[in-house]
């Protein structure tokens, strides 16, 4: 499974959380998102899982565009930690 984010952006009101984030994670790779609190790490993951809408850019999983797909149609799971 390959996950690709292509120039993905997200804002909450006037606050831009992600600005043209692009990355590609190949099957078997590990990726670490590192940043300060509020820098968009969780938002990026929530967008991949379909829990946040994508305002700009595209997300694809295994070559299929899932930018507007429902979470249940993405074959992605997310575990929350508190």
User: For 47-65, what is each residue's pLDDT tens digit?
Assistant: 999 999 999 999 999 999 9
What confidence score (pLDDT) does residue 50 get? 96
Strand partners for 8? 21
**Residue 40 domain-assigned?**
yes
Task: In whole angstroms, give the CA distance from residue 14 to residue 3.
Answer: 28
What confidence score (pLDDT) does residue 21 get? 97
Read off the pLDDT band of 82 (50, 70, 90).
confident
Provide the residue range defining the domain that includes 39.
3-73
Nearest Cα neighbor of 19 from 48, 40, 46 is 40
Give exposure, 56-70, as e/b (b: 16+ Cβ within 10 Å): ebebebeeeebbeee
**Residue 82 domain-assigned?**
no
**Residue 79 domain-assigned?**
no
């Amino acid at each position: 499974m390959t996950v690709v984010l292509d120039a993905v952006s997200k804002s909450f009101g006037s606050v831009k959380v992600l600005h043209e984030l692009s990355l590609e994670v190949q099957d078997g790779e590990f990726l670490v998102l590192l940043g300060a609190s509020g820098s968009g790490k969780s938002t990026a993951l929530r967008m991949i899982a379909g829990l946040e809408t994508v305002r700009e850019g595209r997300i694809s999983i295994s070559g299929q565009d899932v930018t507007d797909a429902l979470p249940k149609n993405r074959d992605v799971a997310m575990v929350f930690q508190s």
